[in-house]
Structure 1
Amino acid sequence: MGARAFARARRLVGARFRPQGYDPATGLDCVGLVWAAYAAAGRRLVRPRDYPLRGWSRERIVGALGRAGFAAVDEPRQSGDVALVALAAGQFHLVLMGADRCVHAHAGLRRVVETPLDAMLIAAPRWRLTQEA
Structure 2
Amino acid sequence: MYNIMAFICRFDVNCAVNLPHLFVKKERRMDQFECINVADAHQKLQEKEAVLVDIRDPQSFAMGHAVQAFHLTNDTLGAFMRDNDFDTPVMVMCYHGNSSKGAAQYLLQQGYDVVYSIDGGFEAWQRQFPAEVAYGA
Note whether the superposition's TM-score is higher than 0.5.
no
Q: Which has the larger radius of gyration?
A: 2
* Bigger share in helix: 2
* Bigger share in strand: 1
TM-score range, shorter chain: under 0.3
